[in-house]
Amino acid sequence: MTQQMFAFSLGVGVLLAAAGIAQSAPQCDSRDAVTALLAQRYGETRRSIGIAGEAAVMELYAAEATGTWSITLTLPDGRMCLIASGSNYETVTEDLPARGDPA
3-state secondary structure at position 100: coil
From first to last of its 103 residues, what are the pLDDT tens digits of the chain?
Answer: 445 544 444 455 544 444 444 456 679 999 999 999 999 999 999 999 999 988 899 999 999 999 999 999 999 999 999 999 999 999 888 888 888 766 5
Where exactly are the structural domains of the chain? Answer: 2-86
3-state secondary structure at position 58: strand
The model's pTM: 0.69
Name the residue among 36, 25, 21, 11 with its Cα closest to residue 46. 36
pLDDT, position 26: 75
